[in-house]
Structures are given as C-alpha cells and as structure tokens.
Amino acid sequence: MKHLIAPSILAADFGNLQRDIEMLNCSQADWIHVDVMDGVFVPNISFGFPVLEVVRKYATKPLDVHLMITDPDRYLKAFQTAGATLITVHLEACTHLHRTIQAIKELGCQAGVALNPHTPVSLLEDIITDLDLVLIMSVNPGFGGQRFIDNSYKKIKQVKALSDQYNPNLYIEIDGGVNQHNANSLVAAGANVLVAGNAVFAASNPSQTIIDLKVASDLKFV
Ligand SMILES: O=C(CO)[C@@H](O)[C@H](O)COP(=O)(O)O
Ligand SMILES: [Fe+2]
C-alpha cells in the first residue's frame, strides 16, 4: 500500500483557511485531517460543523475526521452531512464500539478507531476486521505541536501484526509529533498514513514539507 500524508488543519491559519486548504489541494497531500475536540473528552475545544463545512466546500481531497468527543454516536450523521469521508472515533469514548463502527459504515463513510497512548492495542482484537483504519495517538490528544511518544513504535508494530493476520487493507495512521525526521521509521514500523500538523503548517514552505514527508516515507527504510 502507498503511504499517505494527511496534514492536520488544526495547525492551519484559521484567518486564511481557504488559502491553506487550496494550498493542500495543490500539494501532494492525500487526505485532509480534521481534529474535532469537544472540551470534555480532551482538555481543548477546536471547531465544529461550520468550520468543517467550509473545509468541505473548498477541499478537493478526502476529509479524515478525527473525533475527540465523548459519545460520538450523537453526531455521526451530522459529520457525514458536513462532508466527512472517514470518521474515526476514540475507543475510550465509546460504550458500544461495534455499534458505533457499524453506524459510521451505514452512513457510507469509512470507519476508524483511535487509541490514546495508554490504551493497549490488544483491545482491538475483536473489532479489527470491521475497521478501515486504526489511529495510534503518539501524543496525548487535545493539542498540536507536542512531542512524539516513543512507545508508539511498539504499538504501530502490534497493529501491523493484527492487520497482516486479519485485515491487510487496514489504514494504520500515526498522529502526533510526526515530522520529516521520524516519517521513515514510522513507515518502517508499519504506519501507512502519516498525520502532520505543525511539521507542515509551521514550515516556511508547507507544500515542500509535504513533499519531504512523502519522500521520507517512501524511501527504502534506513
Ligand atoms: O489529534 C491531534 C491532536 O489531538 C493531532 O491530529 C494534531 O493536530 C497533530 O498535530 P502535530 O502533533 O502534528 O503538530
Ligand atoms: Fe488528529
């Protein structure tokens, strides 16, 4: 599977959101990662439907919506209507995860599950065949620009082993503290989707940085 780059618009300039999305449209980004935070599941509030609708209006690429919200079932339909292509929920936020995943698929979206840094990958064993994507949080969710947690490599390898055994087409997404320096080793561990917020938007040349991430991830493992 080709490695995908999913810049996170959490780090975009919201005063120039249309400009930043158009930059992503013209770049080598594969998806646009959209971080939704409710101030309850995580200690931060990002944005909701009006912003997502603007992103959908201008974006020409799939929207990879990462829901950091409690009880996401309440809003799945609204996120699909607002333009989500993929919807990822947190395992820690769902009481009936299997039901939530089926509901996402019934809406015609692809379904993912995210794991916080402390949540063991083994909890995915009985749901892995139902998933399109697993998102490994390599920082504690809630903020961009944090330092990568090294234990995440082990978790990516564990997800890759599950994927090889039960679901070979799984997207294995790594989110938090990803940059040009760790992209190659993350792909070597088994990740095939790299989310990058600050690495892209704080760079002097964001579209070149996306190319750099792509080149680094596609290089033979070093
Ligand atoms: O979900 C989250 C944070 O909760 C991420 O998607 C961040 O937005 C990634 O930002 P960087 O760590 O790459 O700056
Ligand atoms: Fe995210």
Is 83 annotated as contributing to ligand binding?
no
SS3 content of the chain, % helix, strand, coil (to 5): 45, 20, 35
Predicted pLDDT of residue 221: 63
Q: Strand, helix or coil at 197?
A: coil
- Say yes or no: CB of residue 198 within 6 Å of ligand 1: yes
- Say yes or no: CB of residue 192 within 6 Å of ligand 1: no
Predicted pLDDT of residue 219: 77
Per-residue exposure over 57-94, b if at least 16 CB sit within 10 Å of its own CB, e if not: eebebbbbbbbbbeebeebbeebbebbbbbbbbbbbbb
Q: Which domain holds residue 168?
A: 4-218
Catalytic one among 35, 38, 64, 212?
A: 35
- Say yes or no: CB of residue 9 within 6 Å of ligand 1: no
Catalytic one among 20, 30, 38, 175?
A: 175
ipTM of this complex prediction, to 2 decimal places: 0.99
Predicted pLDDT of residue 218: 81
Predicted pLDDT of residue 2: 78
CA atoms within 13 A on the CB side of 93: 27
**Residues making up the chain, counted from first to last:** 222
Return the axis-axis angle of helices 206-218 and 17-26, rounded to nearest 10°. Answer: 40
Please report, for the domain that includes residue 49, its CATH number: 3.20.20.70
Predicted pLDDT of residue 1: 62
Is 8 annotated as contributing to ligand binding?
yes
Number of structural domains the chain divides into: 1
- Say yes or no: CB of residue 116 within 6 Å of ligand 1: no
Give counts: helices (H), strands (E), the chain.
Answer: 8, 8
Q: Has this prediction a pTM greater than 0.90?
A: yes
Predicted pLDDT of residue 222: 53
Give pLDDT < 50 ranges for the chain. none
How far apart, in whole angstroms, are the C-alpha atoms of residue 174 and residue 17?
A: 24
Q: What residues form DSSP beta bridges with 87?
A: 65, 111
Q: Choose one of 146, 174, 201 to mutate for the ligand 1 pocket test, by most ligand atoms within 8 angstroms of C-beta.
A: 146
Predicted pLDDT of residue 172: 98
